[in-house]
Amino acid sequence: MTSASRQRIVLASGSPRRRDLARAAGWNVRVTPPPEDAEAGAAGRPAGETLEDYVVRLARVKGQATVARGATGIVLACDTVSEIDGVALGKATDRNDARRMLELLSGRKHRVLTGVWLCRTDTGTILEAVEQSLLFMHALEPSFIDWYLDSGMWRGKAGGCGFQDERLPLELVAGSESNVVGLPLERIEAMLTALASRDPLGG
């Protein structure tokens, strides 16, 4: 039995992909999306802030806002960005933005980084981490990009695309597949184990 299946986790996320992945893994989760203004307030990456610090900060803001709204127990928040040439690619704002991202990724490797924020509210213990994966996007024909944009699958996804999307020629080169979806299961399991060793939670 995994740490996540033994413990009840408040998942501070509105992402159906994270929710489905957590439940498919057998985790005992209660989904509590953070307030929208918390995510909007964290937008923007100051000069000098690394991408690793950026994604952790975004996750932290989500988690802290969820706790501030009354969530208790073990609270988990994540945020995911894609990166190419040192530029972070968040969620596409519209169809044209998604096209720009797809054309940028076409035929090239890129990174996907997920910041993880984990808190046990009764003790105030907080753990943070970053997980990254390397992907390769095979060359995309203009007709495929048009079809993909018409499908709407790009909506709400970092980099304007999703690893498991239909027909998308996206290949995992290194790292965790679950991280690409936005919930690095293995890393979070290790963090939950570390959290339990610091503050035993019982059965």
Which pLDDT belongs to residue 41?
53
Per-residue pLDDT of the chain (203 residues; tens, 9 = 90+): 566 657 889 999 988 889 999 999 999 999 999 887 766 555 677 878 899 999 999 999 999 999 999 999 999 999 998 999 888 888 899 999 999 999 999 999 999 999 999 999 999 999 999 999 999 999 999 999 999 999 999 998 889 998 888 899 999 999 999 999 899 999 999 999 998 877 544 43
* Residue 155 placed within a domain: yes
Strand, coil or helix: 22: helix
Cα–Cα distance, 148 to 45 (Å, whole number): 29
Domain that holds residue 75: 3-198
* Residue 168 placed within a domain: yes
Number of domains in the chain: 1
Which pLDDT belongs to residue 200?
47
* Residue 163 placed within a domain: yes
* Residue 203 placed within a domain: no
Q: Which CATH number goes with the domain that contains 17?
A: 3.90.950.10
Cα–Cα distance, 202 to 176 (Å, whole number): 29
Catalytic residue among 79, 97, 150, 199: 79
* Residue 97 placed within a domain: yes
Q: What is the pTM of this model?
A: 0.86
Which pLDDT belongs to residue 203?
34
Contact call for residues 188 and 111 (beta carbons, < 8 A)? no
85 is catalytic: no
* Residue 34 placed within a domain: yes
Cα–Cα distance, 170 to 175 (Å, whole number): 14
Cα–Cα distance, 40 to 44 (Å, whole number): 9
41 token code pair: 């307030």
